[in-house]
A and B are shown apart, each in its own frame.
Chain A
Amino acid sequence: MDEPRPVTVRANKPDRAARMADLLSAARAGSEDALGQIVNELSPLLWQVARSAGLSQGDAEDVLQTVWMRLVTHLDSINDAGALTGWLVTTTKREAWRVRAAGRKLLPADQDVFADLPDKGPGSEEQVILEDQRRELWAAIGMLSRRCQELLRIMAFAPRPDYATVAAALGMRVGSIGPTRGRCLAKLRALLAGGPDGSLA
Chain B
Amino acid sequence: MTPPGPGRLPPADEPLDDTDFGVLGDIRELFEAVDPMPADLPERIRFSLALRDLEVEVARLAEEDQLTVAARGKEQARTITFDSDSLTIMIRIDANRDGTVRVDGWLAPPQRRQVEIKTSADPLTTASDAQGRFAFVRVPRGTAQFIVHPAQPSSGDTRSVVTPALII
Interface set, chain B 89-137, CB cutoff 8 A to A: none
Determine the chain A residues whose CB is within 8 A of the CB of B13 once the complex forms.
175, 180-181
Q: Is B9 an interface residue (CB 8 A)?
A: yes
Tell me the complex Cα distance, A27–B26, Å.
32
Tell me if B10 and A163 are in contact (CB < 8 A).
no
Tell me the complex Cα distance, A157–B37, Å.
12
Determine the chain A residues whose CB is within 8 A of the CB of B138 once the complex forms.
none
- Among candidates B10, B33, B38, B49, residue contacting A69 with C-beta atoms closer than 8 Å: B49
Determine the chain A residues whose CB is within 8 A of the CB of B21 once the complex forms.
12, 160
Q: Measured between C-beta atoms, what is the minimum distance from A57 to chain B in Å?
A: 7
Tell me if B10 and A186 are in contact (CB < 8 A).
yes
Q: Is B69 an interface residue (CB 8 A)?
A: no
Q: Is A93 an interface residue (CB 8 A)?
A: no
Q: Is B67 an interface residue (CB 8 A)?
A: no
Interface set, chain B 53-70, CB cutoff 8 A to A: 54, 56, 58, 60-64
Classify chain B's interface size: 35 or more
Q: Is B71 an interface residue (CB 8 A)?
A: no
Determine the chain A residues whose CB is within 8 A of the CB of B58 once the complex forms.
66, 69-70, 73
Tell me the complex Cα distance, A198–B50, Å.
54
Q: Is B14 an interface residue (CB 8 A)?
A: yes
Tell me if A189 and B10 are in contact (CB < 8 A).
yes
Determine the chain B residues whose CB is within 8 A of the CB of A143 once the complex forms.
1
Tell me if A199 and B4 are in contact (CB < 8 A).
yes
Q: Is A106 an interface residue (CB 8 A)?
A: no
Closest 5 CB pairs of A and B: A65-B164, A47-B37, A156-B27, A190-B4, A156-B28
